[in-house]
Amino acid sequence: MPRPPDPGLEERILRAAQKLWSKRGEDSLTMRAVARAAGTNTPAVYRRFKSRMELVRALAQRGQSDLSEVIRPCTCLQEIAEKALEFSLRNPEEYHLLVSRTATAATPGRPNVRLVSERAAKWLGGTPEDHTGLVYALWSMTSGASILLTTQAVPADKVPEFRAAFSAAVNTLVKNAQIIEGDRVPVGS
């Protein structure tokens, strides 16, 4: 008599894959390693995820959701940038996946960009589309800061100064942003 399906197996597989990815990145994610870490066999992993890429896409979707949970309660764009940076520093490998082409394929439309654009419209006025440029600017600043901090390009004794400069730059960008005829441009330029 065949065993009944394990309803928690897919979640165990995803947790195991996420743990492997966060420790050693993409190279550590083989279906065999995931199966071993999830306490199952490789065919069971393939029954849930038809390919390694499908599993990676599921991880990207999970990462997008995890980041969304972090930024959703924020009350201003500055807080969103700070929380996104903290998320990237706590989860550097997962963040790398989130900014990859794989994440774009897994989560078309970049749901967190859409979420932040909607929040910007709520807080600053206009429509979400009016704020896409601002959101991309904040995202690029956050990703750049993340890279510099995770690669230790910023000397340890300069990290507090660097973080303060990041916060000041985010504040300046947000405070000087305004909508003129539907286009996002900085005030005073």
Instruction: Identify the CATH number of the domain in which residue 93 sits.
Output: 1.10.357
- Calpha distance 31→46 (Å, rounded): 8
pLDDT given for residue 1 in this prediction: 57
| pLDDT reported for residue 187 | 43
HSE of 147, CA atoms in CB hemisphere, 13 A: 7
Residue 32 domain-assigned? yes
Give residue 12's pLDDT: 93
Distances (CA, A) of 150 to 61, 146, 181: 23, 6, 39
Same domain, 127 and 168: yes
Q: Per the domain annotation, does 78 fall within a domain? A: yes
Residues of the domain holding 31: 1-50
Do 43 and 14 have their domain in common?
A: yes
- Statement to judge: residues 102 and 38 lie in one domain: no
Same domain, 83 and 43: no
Residue 29 CA: distances (Å) to CA of 26, 105, 109, 128, 151: 5, 18, 26, 37, 22
Q: Total domain count for the chain?
A: 2
Can you give the pLDDT of all 189 residues of the chain as single tens digits? 566 667 788 999 999 999 998 887 778 889 999 999 999 999 999 999 999 889 988 988 888 899 999 999 999 999 999 999 999 999 988 888 888 877 777 667 788 999 999 999 999 989 999 999 999 999 999 999 999 999 999 999 999 999 999 999 999 999 888 654 344 444 444
State the burial class of residue 179 (Cβ atoms within 10 Å of its Cβ: 0-12, 13-18, 19+).
Answer: middle
pTM for this prediction: 0.82
- φ and ψ at 8, to 5 degrees? -95, 0
57 found inside a domain = no
- What pLDDT is stored for residue 181 in this prediction? 37
Q: Are residues 66 and 32 both part of a single domain? A: no
CA torsion angle 45 31 19 6 (round to 10): 10
